[in-house]
Structure 1
Amino acid sequence: MHESGKKLTVYFCGDCGSTLYKTHELFPGQVVVLAGTLDDADGLEQAKPQVELFTKHRASWLPSLSWADQKDEF
């Protein structure tokens, strides 16, 4: 259960146990992919974020992504 009270499901690699991605009831049909799981040279370029989460905790020196939706929480 997530702090929002909604269901959060975390998916792990069956070989090494690393977290691969997450799903959440607040985002049906969408997944949160962990950037560190992308091993294709163009993976990060193709995975341009659509939303920034937990922006209320953003470090003051880190700029927001102007093209992405901004959410204070998950």
Structure 2
Amino acid sequence: MNQISFSARNGLLSDAMKPLRPRLRERYGERLEQLYTELEDGQAERLRELRSNRTRRRLSSWPCISARCSPE
């Protein structure tokens, strides 16, 4: 995202300094959707990795996977 600040002057905030959601959506909506898609894809890939490694790990190592620590 670019470094444009939110202001009433550029139309992203109202005079009461509240975000103008339609204008924000118009300006940033496509990029935000792209970021959410990338995040979702990354999470799905991590889940696939965990599922594919499940048969190779001992059941006792599962709590360590969720805590991102190394198995015993």
**Pairwise same-fold verdict (TM > 0.5):** no
Higher strand share: 1
- More RCO (CA 8 Å, sep 6+): 1
Q: TM-score range by the shorter chain?
A: under 0.3
Q: Which has the higher helix share?
A: 2
Greater Rg over alpha carbons, structure: 2
Report the TM-score when normalising by structure 1. 0.25
TM, length-normalised to structure 2: 0.25
